[in-house]
Structure 1
Amino acid sequence: MGDGNTETRQLLERSIAMWDSEGGASSNEPPAPMEPGRDREQDPQLSNAELVNLRVRVIALENLVIALMSQASNQEVDIAKEMAALILPRPGYKQHPLTIKAAEHMSDLLDRAARFKSMPPSAVPYKSTRVFDENTLPAGFRKEHMTKAGVWGVIRVLEGQLRYEVLDPVSDTVIEPGVPGLILPEQPHRVEPIGQMRMLVEFYNQLPSL
């Protein structure tokens, strides 16, 4: 094994050691006693607004990871896959649910990056909105509006349902995960949430492949 591979292995092992020490995996040893005078209930509780902000940041970071990994070399992808495999429960450690989910989520991000990389140019948006929910959806989306000439849009619902109304020609569609809504150039339309939902809009300079 070359020096480069040895350094990579050492880096991975150090990362895993940090994961274990920070609680990502649970040892069979009894938990260490809490510091004298410390009460678990004294740990700060996040407000709902802070949780929403944290969720938005996580989504943004995940999309950045997907974009970067879609341009990564095969060696870099293999290293990421190896890291995902390494954080699965190992001998001497319990099957910690968070550890397992983290490894599965890493693999899912890599799969999404691979799909993004294999997309034809017509399937890659040049721009997209941030993720909106039923509370943050802009008022302009709820009333009649349209894209510019030569601009196609795709409405993607990540969670829940969204009513998509085209005004010319008239149509009314319910969009949900896995069922995107196509917006044609200069086509008047509007949307309205149906209960709790999360969605975004992608923009293309040619007819996209749905």
Structure 2
Amino acid sequence: MRASALVSAASAALLAAALLPALPAGATVVVVPSLEEMAVAAEVIAHVKAGAPRVERDDKGRVVTLTPLSVVEGVKGAKAGDILEVFQLGGSLDGKGSWIVGAHRFVAGEELVFVGVRHTRGPGSVIPFGVGFGLFQVTRDDFGVSVVEVVGDVVALERSPDGKTREVAPQVRRFDSLPGFLALLRRAAAAEEAPRLMQIDRRPARAPQGG
């Protein structure tokens, strides 16, 4: 399936989900794509560090939030040293605030794997792949560098075995190796193989010293 078709299908599914009755209050209903679909359809995939967000009005008078992302390692559509800028509708300005439910609020200094598409605002302007997904938090500790999907205030729409659709809490995808996760995305983007959720034994880098 072509990348444009995947994006169109995801958009259509999201629209259909938005029209369903009796949605949970305060949550956005989404159809979560597989990691393979995201990697193939995405225009930009990169390991990044977020800068300080700024809020302003665009040329249409809308309140928007713009967050710079410094690329640490590029996977697709970006390279180390590039500066991307995330475009988001909404934000807090002049004492008033409004956000799209489920959208991520970036924090300066956070480390992420970004999966998204380009925005028409400019060559470096990007948006996450979808509301509530397309971002993976990078966490460093004594056990290594792990990656956990950032899931916003969303509800996933899935089809049950009897053919009916139902709303469920989205499953958070976790990976215990940042290099392994980036390699997985590269293979998926190149359609070399379907990605699989892999769990790697987490072991301390060094044995704790006796006290």
Q: Same fold (TM over 0.5)?
A: no
Whose strand proportion is higher, 1 or 2?
A: 2
Under a length normalisation based on structure 2, what TM-score does the superposition of the two structures give? 0.23
Whose helix proportion is higher, 1 or 2?
A: 1
Under a length normalisation based on structure 1, what TM-score does the superposition of the two structures give? 0.23
Structure of higher CA gyration radius: 1
